[in-house]
Structure 1
Amino acid sequence: MLNTEMDAELRGIVGETDADPLERLARRLLLEIGEDPTRDGLKDTPARYARWWREFTNYDPGTIETLFETTSSGQMVLVSGIEVWSLCEHHLLPFNCSLTIAYRSAEQLLGLSKFARIAHQHAHKLQVQERLVSDVAHDIMRITGAQDVAVIGQGEHLCMTMRGIRTSARMTSTSFHGAFAEDSPARSELLTFVRGSA
């Protein structure tokens, strides 16, 4: 159905001509699952739904490129336990992901809070976990100029927990570059830390 036809149909259903398009979609969804969008518990739900989607997709991470001079080139920097929520692009259901980010500094160090800001920036869109960890790794490489970067993501996906097999499980995905992609001391150091903190 064309957008204009759908808008006209939804306006007829809810009797509103200037409602927010996301609110109209939420009202339509409620109707399609057999609910009454005018009942007390639901009458404000379409507005909340629209507000949440806009907050999620319009997320502003703030400044992500704050760098500092390093005093020790080649040192491994590792930040772990960065918790993000994203939405599975296949089912529009949430997944949470705990990220570990490591890199070997070249000439500059990334500010500590920037790791989380970068992670949240890539999580606030329709995603798959494999692309999430890859996107974060490539941003760390781009911003710092480091070639040795590793990102490990461990997530639980409600599209598996709530539907389909309905079993909880943790999925791990990695994006290793430079020395972390090779059988190297840097990779061994990283994996030793990851095993020790599991």
Structure 2
Amino acid sequence: MARQLLIEIGEDPDRSGLRDTPERFARWWREFSNYQAGQVETHFPLRTDGQIVMVSDVNVWSLCEHHLLPFSCTLTIAYKPGKHVLGLSKFARIAHRHAHRLQVQERLVRDIAEEISKVTGTNDVAVIGRGEHLCMSMRGIRTSALMTCSVFDGIFRDYGPPREELIKIAFPRG
């Protein structure tokens, strides 16, 4: 496939700089799409007295399923724990698990929210994603921009203190 792509764009896949490119290209795709997040269900017993746990600035890369070009996304994830808290690294593992596939940003944040809800046992989950898409900044309009999308479930669904706290952390005013 990569060899044919090189031919289609007018390159010589047999020239010295490109000879190994098809294999490197295939290896990268396998590495990216076969990402193994590891265990994501690690919990720690802890009484939180109604606290909200937020993890912000989780950076992931994904691939636009419409153009096969990368997009980067910075995530803020929040939830209200019950009788235990989720291990900190598990948020990034879950985010990467869903990012390492052909994706659209709207589905990415929804998939992350659903898995956080499943592993924590709470519906009080919110995920905000801010992404820059190379399919927009490198082709078409060729303008960089950030797309923001969000999922607000449980206590975050309605406007009120939990949602306001999350918004202040996700979008600090400089």
| TM-score normalised over the length of structure 1 | 0.85
CA distance in 2, matches of 1:195, 1:129: 18
Moved more, 188-197 or 116-125: 188-197
Would you say 1:191 and 2:167 are equivalent positions? yes
C-alpha deviation, 1:65, in angstroms: 0.8
In structure 1, what is the equivalent of residue 112 of structure 2? 136
Q: Over aligned residues, Cα RMSD in angstroms?
A: 1.1
**What does 1:1-198 correspond to in 2, within 5 Å?**
25-196=1-172
Secondary structure of residue in 1 paired with 2:58: strand
Secondary structure of residue in 2 paired with 1:130: helix
CA distance in 1, matches of 2:109, 2:163: 17
Give 1 or 2: higher helix fraction: 1
Q: Which residue identity lines up with residue 77 of structure 1 in the other structure? A: V
- Matched residues, number: 174
Structure 1 residue ranges, 4+ long, deviating more than 6 angstroms after superposition: none
CA distance in 2, matches of 1:73, 1:149: 17
CA distance in 2, matches of 1:82, 1:59: 17
CA distance in 1, matches of 2:20, 2:158: 54
For residues 15-52 of structure 1, what are the alpha-carbon distances to aligned partners after superposition, in whole Å with 9 as ceiling and x for unaligned?
Answer: xxxxxxxxxx1111111111111100000000100100
| TM-score normalised over the length of structure 2 | 0.97
Extract unaligned runs of 5+ from structure 2.
none
C-alpha deviation, 1:192, in angstroms: 2.2
CA distance in 2, matches of 1:75, 1:49: 46
Which one has the largest radius of gyration?
1
Are the aligned partners of 2:128 and 2:170 in contact in 1 as well (CA < 8 Å)? no
For residues 75-96 of structure 1, what are the alpha-carbon distances to aligned partners after superposition, in whole Å with 9 as ceiling and x for unaligned?
Answer: 1000001000000000000000
C-alpha deviation, 1:106, in angstroms: 1.1
